């Protein structure tokens, strides 16, 4: 047989014909036996002593990788604080271990699907959580280094051990050094933070509903949402006994001042300022109705990136694409990781940049986000109650009432908010990107809040993002994504869209403390009777306001659905000549509407279901 092969090759060479090269693989295939996969834990030294015990903290990296002899294995990493306290995914899966401490259950489907295809999956416990030493610092250097140092270890630049303390050093000789990070919420936030360091070896990140600046998670242009990073730290540290995190938690309490000022603690956790340092490609997903990690996070992060990137925008709230468009998402992830971690030229980086859900389960692609034809358009409120592109004059007043919020403002504002509408639109208007509002207001007291809404007035069927599933219903039947073992199955409950009919859709929200009109770093007492001008952002979106609907701007004080009120709520008078909203839109908005009514007339009455919708926190 060998002689025949040699003779055949010789004949080809003598004839001058070159044998064709083997075709490059189109996709990684499940050729490795998941049942034989190697499961192990390595503790990586991250160079911090967060718990003050005099030892450098080590974080636990649980690894599952092909058991067959192989090298050059790429890694999919999910670094999380939730593997013992709160769970991951729609079914809140936790890590499990056998009696010897060997990892058994790896939450989510990544291991089941990708390990048979030649990948390793590494799930990292952030410092202070589950089996890692140290303390959580909620987006700070310890959180980020918990994952960054594991990337370094996979590339031979950091030290790993077989034990949490002591133990022998261990290297990752099996690793190719190519790492992709993925995760939802806090996990995706860590991916953003690690990517912002520009660490070598991190080839791609997939942040899902992720934070880009911790200030914007707890604060908004000076306004305070209410929760605190110290509370979150204590929650995720709760299952990891033994360490003393009192000093770290106190530092979080002191750094996150009671007011909404942007200080050093927030600056250290602002990844947007380093978005230009990102070298990894980015596949981003976010729900445009996410009221937990609000859409300002994806908008500012996306705008700062200078790398290959794609985006999915759903109508859901805080939901993973695996739970609203499962098959398409798994296929995209497969091709994405194959391209960026295995180097397969499958073209996944080409084509439309954005995929957007227009109606429940109705998806479209567009060449770019924001839409290529969207132009920043200035709209101005008029004393008649209209909203248009022409100049305005006059004043209008409202009385701050922190006991009500956005839904009351839309359906029955009374004296608590001001509403301005374009009137019925004669053609579709596409709002795509981040809007901003500039308000000039004179307060009657020494403290004041401002809130603004951009609203599509008109009937629609949307995902029920304020429901228990934030836009999805979870059934009892399952489908499976990859291979299973007795302790780690690949099967997950099938979901469907949870929808409802509404009479209006809020496209963008924004909140501000007027005391931060001059600087986000230092609030200033207001002088009653003095006019102040402040510009603040509204949440990014991608939405088409259809013909026959109206686009409205609502301005109020304390949106009780979200932010804390001022010490002395009072009356605010708005100078309409110096108040406007800048909206990135494609389409025509009238210079000034001829009437102030809503579509269908002035007597707008919400449905009973819509009127009952209240708590959006």
Residue among 256, 263, 252 nearest 230 (CA): 252
> Do 256 and 382 share a domain, yes or no?
no
Which of 80, 84, 132, 185 is the catalytic position?
Answer: 185
Structural domain contains residue 475? no
- We report the CATH number of the domain holding residue 262 as 3.40.50.1820
Domain, as residue range, for 266: 34-283+290-310
State how beta strands 202-208 and 175-184 pair.
Answer: parallel
Domain shared by 428 and 535, yes or no: yes
Does some domain include residue 277? yes
What secondary structure letter does DSSP report for 501? E
In a domain, 469, yes or no: no
Taking the C-alpha atoms of residue 125 and residue 365, their distance in angstroms, rounded to an integer, is 36
Residue 4: the pLDDT is 37
Q: Are 521 and 426 in contact (CB under 8 A)?
A: no
Burial of 22 (0-12, 13-18, 19+ CB in 10 A): exposed
Is 481 part of any domain?
no
Q: Is 577 exposed, middle or buried (0-12, 13-18, 19+ CB in 10 A)?
A: middle
Instruction: Tell me how far apart the alpha carbons of residues 187 and 236 are, in angstroms, rounded to a whole number.
Output: 13
Find the catalytic residue in 78, 143, 290, 488: 290
Residues 446 and 530 in one domain: yes
Question: Is 185 a known active-site residue?
Answer: yes
Taking only the tens place, the pLDDT of each residue in 395-421 is: 999 999 999 999 999 999 999 999 999
**Residues 239 and 387 occupy one common structural domain:** no
| Closest to 425 in 3D by CA, of 482, 387, 377 | 387
Tokens representing residue 20 in the block: 């064709």
Q: Both tokens of residue 242? A: 């033994």
Angle between helices 229-237 and 246-255 (to 10 degrees): 160
- Those residues of the chain that have pLDDT short of 70 are 1-24, 240-241, 592-617
Asked if residue 249 belongs to a domain, the reply is: yes
Task: For residue 57, give the nearest of 123, 138, 142 by alpha carbon.
Answer: 142
Domain assignment present for residue 562? The answer is yes
Distance CA 84, CA 142 (A): 19
Are the C-beta atoms of residues 557 and 401 closer than 8 Å to each other? yes
Q: What is the reported pLDDT for 56?
A: 97
What is the model's pLDDT at position 23?
57
Specify the pTM.
0.92
Does 415 lie in the same domain as 296?
no
Regarding whether 428 and 294 lie in a shared domain, the answer is no
| Residues 410 and 525 grouped into a single domain | yes
Is there a single domain that holds both residue 407 and residue 529?
yes
Catalytic residue among 297, 318, 382, 549: 318
214 and 296 housed in the same domain: yes
Query: Structural domain tally of the chain?
Result: 2
Length of the chain (residues)? 617
Structure tokens at 544: 């088409």
**Does residue 91 form part of some domain?**
yes
**Residue 238 is a catalytic residue:** no
399 burial via Cβ count (<10 Å: 0-12, 13-18, 19+): middle
26, part of any domain: no
Query: Where residue 544 sits, what CATH number does that domain have?
Result: 2.60.120.260
594 CB neighbour count, 10 Å cutoff:
10
Contact 252, 230 (CB under 8 A): yes
Query: Which token pair is 456?
Result: 């599509």
CB 181 within 8 A of CB 191: yes
Let me know if 62 is a catalytic residue. Answer: no
Domain match, 299 and 390 both: no
């Amino acid at each position: 047989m060998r002689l025949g092969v040699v003779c055949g090759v010789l004949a080809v060479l003598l004839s001058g014909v070159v044998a064709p090269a083997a075709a490059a693989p189109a996709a990684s295939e499940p050729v490795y036996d998941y049942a034989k996969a190697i499961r192990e834990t390595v503790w990586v030294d991250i160079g911090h002593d967060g718990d003050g015990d005099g030892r450098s903290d080590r974080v636990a990296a649980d690894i599952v990788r092909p058991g067959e002899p192989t090298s050059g294995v790429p890694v999919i990493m999910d670094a999380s604080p939730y593997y013992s306290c709160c769970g991951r995914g729609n079914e809140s899966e936790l890590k499990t271990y056998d009696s010897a401490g060997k990892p058994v259950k790896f939450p989510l489907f990544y291991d089941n699907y990708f390990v048979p295809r030649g990948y390793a999956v590494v799930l990292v416990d952030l410092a202070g959580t589950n089996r890692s030493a140290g303390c959580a610092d909620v987006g700070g250097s310890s959180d980020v280094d918990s994952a960054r140092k594991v990337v370094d270890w996979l590339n031979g630049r950091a030290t790993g051990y077989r034990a949490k303390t002591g133990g022998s050093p261990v290297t990752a000789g099996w690793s190719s050094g190519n790492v992709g990070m993925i995760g939802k919420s806090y996990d995706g936030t860590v991916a953003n933070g690690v990517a912002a360091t520009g660490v070598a070896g991190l080839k791609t990140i997939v942040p899902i509903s992720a934070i880009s600046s911790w200030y914007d998670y707890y604060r908004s242009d000076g306004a305070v949402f209410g929760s605190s990073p110290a509370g979150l730290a204590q929650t995720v540290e709760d299952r990891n006994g033994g360490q003393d995190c009192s000093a770290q938690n106190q530092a979080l309490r002191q750094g996150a001042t009671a007011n909404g000022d942007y200080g050093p603690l927030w600056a250290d956790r602002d990844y947007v300022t380093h978005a230009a340092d990102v070298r990894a490609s980015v596949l981003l997903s976010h729900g445009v109705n996410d009221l937990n990690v609000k859409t300002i996070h994806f908008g500012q992060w996306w705008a700062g990136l200078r790398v290959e990137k794609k985006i999915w925008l759903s109508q859901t709230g805080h939901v993973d694409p695996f739970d609203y468009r499962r098959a398409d998402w798994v296929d995209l992830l497969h091709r994405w990781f194959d391209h960026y971690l295995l180097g397969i030229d499958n073209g996944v980086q080409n084509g439309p940049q954005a995929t957007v859900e227009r109606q429940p389960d109705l998806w479209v692609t567009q060449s770019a986000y924001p839409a290529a034809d969207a132009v920043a358009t200035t709209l101005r409120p008029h004393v008649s109650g209209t909203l248009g592109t022409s100049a305005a004059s006059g004043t209008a007043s409202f009385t701050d009432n922190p006991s009500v919020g956005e839904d009351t403002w839309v359906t029955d504002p009374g004296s608590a908010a001001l509403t301005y509408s374009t009137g019925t639109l004669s053609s579709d208007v596409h709002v795509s990107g981040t809007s901003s509002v500039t308000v000039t207001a004179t307060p009657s007291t020494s403290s004041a809040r401002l809130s603004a809404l951009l609203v599509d007035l008109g009937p629609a069927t949307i995902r029920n993002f304020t429901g228990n599933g934030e836009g999805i219903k979870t059934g009892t039947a399952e489908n499976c994504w990859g291979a299973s073992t007795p302790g780690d199955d690949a099967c997950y409950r099938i979901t469907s869209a949870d929808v409802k009919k509404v009479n209006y859709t809020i496209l963008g929200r924004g909140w501000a403390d007027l005391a931060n009109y001059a600087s986000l770093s230092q609030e200033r007492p207001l002088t009653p009777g003095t006019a102040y001008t402040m510009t603040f952002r509204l949440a990014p979106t991608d939405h088409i306001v259809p013909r026959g609907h109206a686009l409205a701007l609502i301005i109020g004080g304390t949106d009780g659905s979200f932010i804390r009120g001022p010490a002395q709520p009072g009356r605010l008078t708005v100078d309409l000549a110096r108040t406007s909203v800048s909206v990135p839109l494609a389409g025509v908005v009238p210079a000034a509407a001829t009437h102030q009514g809503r579509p269908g007339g002035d007597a707008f009455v919400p449905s009973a279901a819509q009127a009952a919708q209240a708590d959006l926190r």
